Amino acid sequence: MSYISAVDHLYALGHELAPTLSPTATPTPRRKFDLAHMRALMAALGDPQKSFPSVLIAGTNGKGSTAATLSSILTTAGYRTALYTSPHLIRVNERIQIDGTEIPDEDFARLYFQVDDAANRLVAAGTLPHHPSFFEVLTALAFVYYAEQKIDIAVLEVGLGGRLDATNIVDPLLSIITDIALDHQDYLGNTIAEITREKAGILRPNGILITLPQHPEANQAIGEAAATLNLTAISAAPYIPPTPQNRVSHLSDSSTVAEVGESASEPLPHNHYTLTLDNQPLEINSPLHGQHQQRNIALAIAAAIALRNQVSYKSPTTSNQNGYNITNAAIEAGIRNTRWPGRLELLGGTPPILLDVAHNPAGAWSLRAAIAQLPSNQPRTLIFSCLRDKSLKEMTQILFPLFDSTSGEPERIHDHILLAPIDNPRASSVEDLLAAAHALDIPAHAAPHMAAALAQARAVTPANGLIIATGSVYLVGEIRHLALHPEANPA
């Protein structure tokens, strides 16, 4: 079977976060997840997840950046490193990588139908009550691929929550919890404490936890979980610089140059600072922008240090009994070589485009902090959309006032807000997006699709201005693809 057939078959499974529709178009209840189902599927596939050690990362924001940074460090140190993330920006293969290279199409197709066949046999036998979900199938596919490729270690980003997430069938060397905020309340709970308890489901008895001080409710819930599991908790706080860093670099230092083939001064401060590790200076020079990334970098450093100290973890699945040989130089180079597009990523052009996957209020606040560091007299155009299960009202309250052309601020009179639907069944409607802007009495205009929104943004934004695209991973992926591949733009 072809790669296209595999991808079409995968997407036909539907998205597990949305209600499914019966043949009569009546919504059916959302699926209830059970790790026993995932374990049954993996057992039928030979339990590939037991053949490699792993690091498991849960949280609301920063999971992907932390995972990408740690994966880059391990690859730079010479280890064959798998990286599993979600969602993807453009192609589903992005989720399954080894040493920065996506799974090839032919391997994806072959393994997809291998997993699908195993699932169908289990359903026919009554072992599974229904076919595994989109994410469960992808996770199983990834684990089979990683086992086949004989990786040294896998860095796994949890998809949703932690306790019942498909990735949580591994026995991780380390469990990392990034910053926690309100998101996916329908699944995880209505308070920070409830959500944290779900994410703390990735912790193991006598295991290792790496995290940072954060919201008091999250701190308390993590502490309570740690106490009952007798685990070792490691704080990454020593690896956060003591004062904000404001050094500005140029696009020639950034990963985006190779992608857009242009150079220009970057509008945002660069995360370039020096820490002390083992009484030696550790130079941090990350291509990931925004002060919030310093927390994610700190978590990756703390994880790398824990991995190189063999006494801090057990590894029954590998012959590595002396810890991972991760030097300070490898940590520096790995951070410097991290690739994680769509996170305050600047694409050159006239005008340039700033992409950021701020998909919840916490992410919107981080983006707002970054926008505050832009030149105040620079005209800006916002392209915004989000999924309907996100906090549209709160996100627009955070971001839209920064682009209000009627605010009376002279610097903002040339600003614009453009709204368009995301190509996703969970997308907010244009009517809902416009209503959110009207509720704030802020001008906004609608476009029929993202290609039209990008074309309109380019038309109304001066050459010295900036287009900012945000609100969803799916929006950023679509705008990024259109910007880097103009031939795909039908507008």
Residues for the chain: how many in total? 491
pLDDT confidence bin for 30, thresholds 50/70/90: low
| Residue pLDDT, tens place only, 297-333 | 999 999 999 999 866 555 555 555 568 999 999 999 9
Question: For 106-181, where are the E strands, in sequence order?
Answer: 153-157, 174-177
How buried is 242 (Cβ within 10 angstroms: 0-12 exposed, 13-18 middle, 19+ buried)? Answer: exposed
| Residue pLDDT, tens place only, 469-482 | 999 999 999 999 99
Q: What distance lies between CA 241 and its chain's CA centroid?
A: 23
Alpha-carbon distance of 87 to 198, in angstroms, equals: 20
- For position 131, what pLDDT does the model report? 95
- For position 18, what pLDDT does the model report? 53
- For position 44, what pLDDT does the model report? 98
Q: What distance lies between CA 97 and its chain's CA centroid?
A: 14
Domains and CATH numbers, the chain: 3-336 (3.40.1190.10), 349-488 (3.90.190.20)
Helices (H), 215-319: 216-229, 256-260, 293-307
| Residue pLDDT, tens place only, 277-296 | 999 999 999 999 988 899 99
Helix 134-148 crosses helix 35-44 at what angle (to 10 degrees)? 40
In sequence order, which residues have a C-beta less than 8 Å from that of residue 136 and are 6 or more positions away? 37, 38, 41, 166
Distances (CA, A) of 81 to 101, 149, 156, 285, 319: 10, 10, 11, 21, 16
What is the dihedral angle through the alpha carbons of 102, 103, 104, 110, rounded to the nearest 10 degrees?
-160
Alpha-carbon distance of 121 to 23, in angstroms, equals: 24
- For position 258, what pLDDT does the model report? 28
Shortest CA distance to 449 belongs to which of 422, 476, 486? 422
| Residue pLDDT, tens place only, 354-373 | 999 998 898 999 999 999 98
How far apart are the two ends of the chain, measured CA to CA in Å? 34
- For position 24, what pLDDT does the model report? 39
Which position has the higher pLDDT, 160 or 255? 160
β-sheet bridge partners, residue 175: 56, 209
- Mean pLDDT across the stretch 196-203? 92
Name the most confidently modeled range: 34-48, 183-197, 217-231.
34-48
| Residue pLDDT, tens place only, 378-436 | 999 999 999 888 889 999 999 999 999 999 999 999 999 999 999 888 889 999 999 99
Ranges 12-21, 63-72, 145-154: which has the least confidence: 12-21
Alpha-carbon distance of 431 to 237, in angstroms, equals: 44
Residue 153 exposure: Cα atoms within 13 Å on the Cβ side: 28
In this model, does residue 185 exceed pLDDT 90?
no
In this model, does residue 186 exceed pLDDT 90?
no
Place of tokens 């701190």: 219
| Residue pLDDT, tens place only, 205-218 | 999 999 999 999 99
Q: What distance lies between CA 451 and its chain's CA centroid?
A: 23
Name the most confidently modeled range: 58-62, 82-86, 181-185, 243-247.
82-86
Identify the DSSP state of 32: P
> What is the helix (H) or strand (E) element at residue 134, kind and residue range?
helix 134-148
| Residue pLDDT, tens place only, 326-348 | 999 999 999 999 999 999 999 98
